[in-house]
Chains A and B, each alone.
Chain A
């Protein structure tokens, strides 16, 4: 149980284009989803937290107009990197938790999406 998927697993795009990453909880309802970014050999950096049906809460320093997050259903959240630039190249990982489940504070991670912006 508690499986989280992400799509795509990797993407290469040209500078200036927008990229959408999907995060799905496959066998539970994700009341809250989290988006992280991880640069090589660095730790996880939380970008934003989103609750189903609400606007995302962004961490300090994360541009909400550049990283658009939508959490329209209990099983799907999307992160859109708008006008991507090479410095946005990173490993983007989502996680999900079910606040009404047996382990309400446990986050389950998706496999990650590796974004390369040329």
Chain B
């Protein structure tokens, strides 16, 4: 069974702080990993994807992948109230399969 686990939260951070979101996966066959952001009542939007071990930075967002430990994380620097949303981690495979975590709800307090 290919599982992707996330802490459901809620995670609350003050404005300007670093928010750290974590995700673990059980199947070493996962080839690629994705972070989606979902605002309440809206559909998920892609933030970042990462395929290789290490860090990948895009603006205020940094994705980190450690295949040996089977975890992937998302760091949000200088958190803003507009970052308040549910963040979904997903692991993809060479076939059609992509498994989503349950999501972590983040609240950034002004």
Residue of A nearest to B88 (CB): A44
Of A44, A93, A105, A107, chain B has the most CB atoms within 10 Å of the CB of A105
> Smallest distance from the beta carbon of B95 to chain A beta carbons, Å?
9
Q: Which chain B residues lie closer than 8 Å to A91 at the CB level?
A: 41
Given the complex of chains A and B, what is the CA–CA distance between A51 and B25 in angstroms?
Answer: 26
Contact status A108-B46, CB under 8 Å = yes
Question: Which listed residue, A43, A49, A103, touches B102 by the CB 8 Å rule?
Answer: A43
Known: A43-B103, A49-B96. A110 touches B43 (CB 8 A): yes
28 pairs across A/B with beta carbons < 8 Å?
A32-B96, A43-B88, A43-B100, A43-B101, A44-B88, A44-B100, A46-B100, A51-B96, A91-B41, A93-B43, A103-B49, A105-B32, A105-B92, A105-B93, A105-B94, A106-B46, A106-B49, A106-B92, A107-B34, A107-B46, A107-B98, A108-B46, A109-B43, A109-B46, A110-B43, A111-B42, A111-B43, A112-B42
